[in-house]
Amino acid sequence: MNKRQRKKLHKKFLEDIALDISTSNLWRKAIFKLDKNQFLLINKNSMLPLPKYIEPHFRKYKLQYIVQVVEACPEPFDEGLVIFQFSPRLFPQVKRYSGNSPWIAD
């Protein structure tokens, strides 16, 4: 698979990853504990469980994503939210964000 195809494949699953990881209590707790400039790697060997329906794609295509908390609040998110940034590890210029209420992180 060439680089263009790999990028396209990673982009295809990015929305699902961002949504499912952002709504998983286990993942959210781990992300909220990150220090500034730290990130979590999301791949087939992740310590935390992957969403069941997408796990086979991680194994088949060797997908890898990075999630971290970002300081700047990109539009259109509310200032009271904690913003998670997701990106394919091989293509960091491709980004998706999710706005997260910090109350569930305890």
Query: What digits encode the pLDDT tens for the residues 18-52?
Result: 999 999 999 999 999 998 889 999 999 999 999 88
pTM of the model: 0.88
Pair of tokens at residue 21 = 């990881």
pLDDT at position 27, please? 94
Q: In what order do the strands lie in the sheet with 65-70?
A: 40-42, 65-70, 82-88, 96-100
Pair of tokens at residue 88 = 């394919």
Cis status of the peptide bond prior to 76, with omega within 30 of 0 = yes
